[in-house]
Amino acid sequence: MKQSYTTFPMNEAKGIRMLILDVDGVMTAGDIFLTDQGEQIKAFNVRDGHGIKLLQRSGIEVAVLTGRTSQVVEHRCRELGIQHVIQGCLRKGDSVQELCEKAGVQRSECAYMGDDVIDLPAMAYCHLSFAPADAYIAVAKKVDWVSGFAGGAGAIRQACEGLMIANEAWDQVMTRTYGVFPHESGW
């Protein structure tokens, strides 16, 4: 597996304009809590959310493509300013192609982060594929890079930081604003 800070595909990540994310197992730890009334409750990592906002500030768009349908996801994406959200998608390869066309982004400008076999067709369509550390093993073996963090626990943040560094946006977004250099964040 291609895991950690030192193995991030920096050269291949140059020119990425959109990061597409799965939800369950990527934006969350994969747990789905149901109330007695059947309402879903999901937990999202605040640092992953901040990573998404930082990536957007760097000029890279973020989209969501998920097999399930949830008002919680809709609310979280709206909160993060994610404009392209496709839910209830079981044919992710076809949907990612439609998403790219709608967003005006070429497949060579897209990276996808997923954690299970349903994500593989979308990953194959995109230029780069990422997975959290706890992704299904067959998925982790096929992606370009595996985060050192689990889904819902920093995997997105690490991918966002790698994309910012590869696209020379770190200085503008992190160093000038927060005084943080890549080496201080593990890079």
The string of pLDDT tens digits covering residues 125-165 is: 999 999 999 999 999 999 999 999 999 999 999 999 999 99
Model pTM score = 0.95
Q: Is it the case that residue 178 has pLDDT exceeding 70?
A: yes
Note the pLDDT tens digit of each residue in 69-93.
Answer: 999 999 999 999 999 999 999 999 9
Tell me the average pLDDT across 33-50. Answer: 93
Report how far residue 100's alpha carbon sits from residue 187's, in angstroms, rounded to the nearest whole number: 30
Q: What number does CATH give the domain 5-177?
A: 3.40.50.1000
Residue of 6, 3, 11, 12 whose CA lies nearest to 128:
12
> Under a CB-based contact definition with an 8 Å cutoff, are residues 66 and 24 in contact?
yes
